[in-house]
Structure 1
Amino acid sequence: MKPRKSVQLGNFTVGDGHPVTIVAELGVNHLGDFGRMKEMIAAAVESGADLLKFQTYIAEKRYDPIKNPKGKMFIKWLKEWEFTRDQEAELWEYAKSLGATVFTSAFDPDSADFAESLGSVGYKIAAFELVNKVLLRHVASKGKPVVFTRGMATNEEVDEAIKIITEHGAEPVILHTTSSYPAQRKDTNLWTIHALRERYDWPVGHSDHTHGTYVPPLAVAAGANMIEKHFTVNQKLRESDNFFSLTPNELKEMVFKVRQAERVMGQEVVKCEAEEYMYDFRRHTD
């Protein structure tokens, strides 16, 4: 069997034979509140996330209101939640001061360049940006890992994305996800993780949009090398993804469950040392 590849994301190695990498997606759950974002950063670090993921964008560049009239509504919201570049730089420095490793979803080339100047250890491409080849090429040209969610993409679109990423000097991490917010457990389809592992030798993970901590350990059992979960400090906030995101206590619970799942799954071995004392009791016959 061809050995599977691993990808270095900051100080974390993503791939088989390494601990599952846990990503807290802070996104825009701060709703433009600078103090809340700092609170989220500190809570995510304290709760055991390996990596923090931000969103770096220019609101007007995220949607094309001509091609998609609904884009005007999203641009309005995102503009209200958008930090200034100076605020973003301060937030990155704050996260680093707490020992956090940070990467970001960059939604346009200028934002990717800005995140690069702040020291992003990699980049995330959202599912609906996977067919944005201009952005893919620009982000991949940084030479840092590119994590992307498969979401609605076809196998052919994933193939093309991986081709672009690798040809421009970067390495991919493929995340299975259900592009629904929130997603229902019955729609999670974790068998897709196995299918992606069969098709690609790059690391595969799961970006989970369901409520709670039930699904992530099952994703680990299905072969996920990375788990991404949306994170909040206040689920009562109805805007953005706050209402289905994990609280600090839930993130701690998920980290525990994921580590337990790793221990239970063990390794691919023919025999187990715990069984050795039973060998003499086996009955050999011809």
Structure 2
Amino acid sequence: MAVSIGHNQVGQFEPVYVIGEIGLNHNGDVDLAMQLIDVAAEAGAQAVKFQKRTPAISTPEHMKNTPRDTPWGQMTYLDYRYRVEFSREQYVEIGDYATFRGLDWFASPWDIPSAEFLEDLNVVAHKVASASVTDLAMLEVLASTGKPIILSTGMSTLEQIDRAVEVLGTDNLVMLHATSTYPLPPEEANLRTILTLQDRYPGVPIGYSGHERGLQISIAAVALGAVAVERHITLDRAMWGSDHAASLEPQGFQHLVRDIRIVEEAMGDGVKRVFPGELAPQAKLRRIPA
């Protein structure tokens, strides 16, 4: 069963839905956000994703006054969170630009006011970050919008995912296998969980959200049947910020999309047949006809 997001269909036998996760890699700079939108569009992705917080609500109490060294000087973690948040006007600007570049755009709300903020902007879908799987009150708000929901499943047990699905329903749901280690070591990728989720939630399109270095694990996820792939993108992995090191630079993201398109084409339909390209070798090499 496919889920419609913007002008795209997400599901089996549809093009893999590639999401460029900008997250907070824009560092609060609209121009940088637009450059990252360009990176996603030029690579051939279908969507970009941001993160939206109301810092006073979403920042854990024990972290609010923790000192943080930033490019703007030392400040509390709470002040830093405010510093990198976009205003409504800025979101309108970057959202319009993403649409102009032919991309779907949406964000992960980290609290109920952020969910309402994004719904007011009429995003095409809502993304649930792995950290929010257990925020059932916010999930109820998202479910009430009737919009497609993309649910990441990192740092969560199957029982926690089950409770989230009970709230969200399965009719308009896309689920992403994820492991929330940054950067992700291969031994924690556990890609066979894609198959587990396919079996446990029949009819729900299952994809992959990766935080690894390199491309191999994401490509393998597609070979295992992932119908969507989300990867963080950056202009430079050495930039300041917590997610840049686990992100793909422009050329790497271009190669990822290129390789995903090759793999999805190579997967075929599973029907064994003799292809036209085999006829000449068959005539030349097969000694005993059937």
Residues 62, 75 of structure 1: 8 Å contact kept: no
Closer/same/farther in 2, CA of residues 262 and 76 from structure 1, 3 Å limit: same
Q: How does 1:146-185 map to 2 (within 5 A)?
A: 146-166=149-169, 171-185=172-186
Residues 27, 54 of structure 1: 8 Å contact kept: yes
The worse-fitting range, judged by mean Cα deviation, of 210-219 and 103-112 is: 103-112
Residue 54 of structure 1 aligns to which amino acid in structure 2?
Answer: F
In structure 1, the partner of 2:268 is 266
Residues 25, 228 of structure 1: 8 Å contact kept: yes
The gaps in structure 1 that reach 5 residues or longer are none
Residues 148, 174 of structure 1: 8 Å contact kept: yes
In structure 2, the partner of 1:8 is 4
Question: Does 1:205 find its partner at 2:187?
Answer: no
Measured after TM superposition, the shift of residue 117 of structure 1 is: 2.4
Closer/same/farther in 2, CA of residues 117 and 199 from structure 1, 3 Å limit: same
In structure 2, the partner of 1:138 is 141
In structure 2, the partner of 1:38 is 34
Q: How does 1:236-247 map to 2 (within 5 A)?
A: 236-247=238-249
Secondary structure of residue in 1 paired with 2:196: helix
* Cα separation, 2, equivalents of 1:264 and 1:221: 9
Measured after TM superposition, the shift of residue 282 of structure 1 is: 6.5
The worse-fitting range, judged by mean Cα deviation, of 179-188 and 84-93 is: 84-93
* Cα separation, 2, equivalents of 1:112 and 1:244: 26
Measured after TM superposition, the shift of residue 57 of structure 1 is: 1.9
Measured after TM superposition, the shift of residue 64 of structure 1 is: 3.2
* Cα separation, 2, equivalents of 1:160 and 1:230: 27
In structure 2, the partner of 1:61 is 57
Q: Deviations over 1:129-180 (max 9, x none)?
A: 100001000011110111111112111111111111128xx62111111111
Residue 193 of structure 1 aligns to which amino acid in structure 2?
Answer: I
Closer/same/farther in 2, CA of residues 48 and 273 from structure 1, 3 Å limit: same
* Cα separation, 1, equivalents of 2:277 and 2:288: 11
Measured after TM superposition, the shift of residue 270 of structure 1 is: 3.4
* Cα separation, 2, equivalents of 1:196 and 1:97: 35
In the alignment, which of 79, 85, 95 is matched to residue 82 of structure 2? 79
Measured after TM superposition, the shift of residue 283 of structure 1 is: 6.7
The worse-fitting range, judged by mean Cα deviation, of 253-262 and 149-158 is: 149-158
Percent same amino acid among aligned pairs? 33
* Cα separation, 1, equivalents of 2:39 and 2:250: 6
Q: How does 1:186-265 map to 2 (within 5 A)?
A: 186-201=187-202, 202-265=204-267
Residue 91 of structure 1 aligns to which amino acid in structure 2?
Answer: I
The worse-fitting range, judged by mean Cα deviation, of 8-17 and 74-83 is: 74-83
Residue 11 of structure 1 aligns to which amino acid in structure 2?
Answer: H
Q: Aligned residue pairs: how many?
A: 275
Secondary structure of residue in 1 paired with 2:169: helix
Measured after TM superposition, the shift of residue 125 of structure 1 is: 0.6
* Cα separation, 2, equivalents of 1:91 and 1:75: 24
Measured after TM superposition, the shift of residue 198 of structure 1 is: 1.3
* Cα separation, 2, equivalents of 1:184 and 1:275: 40
> Normalised by the size of structure 1, how large is the TM-score?
0.89
The worse-fitting range, judged by mean Cα deviation, of 181-190 and 271-280 is: 271-280
* Cα separation, 1, equivalents of 2:144 and 2:259: 36
Secondary structure of residue in 2 paired with 1:240: coil
Q: Deviations over 1:198-246 (max 9, x none)?
A: 1112000110100121211100011101000001112221312112211
Secondary structure of residue in 1 paired with 2:24: coil
The gaps in structure 2 that reach 5 residues or longer are 67-76
* Cα separation, 2, equivalents of 1:250 and 1:91: 23
Closer/same/farther in 2, CA of residues 282 and 13 from structure 1, 3 Å limit: farther
> Normalised by the size of structure 2, how large is the TM-score?
0.88
Closer/same/farther in 2, CA of residues 99 and 275 from structure 1, 3 Å limit: closer
Secondary structure of residue in 2 paired with 1:22: strand
Residue 42 of structure 2 aligns to which amino acid in structure 1?
Answer: E
Closer/same/farther in 2, CA of residues 86 and 159 from structure 1, 3 Å limit: same
Residue 35 of structure 2 aligns to which amino acid in structure 1?
Answer: E
* Cα separation, 1, equivalents of 2:107 and 2:288: 55
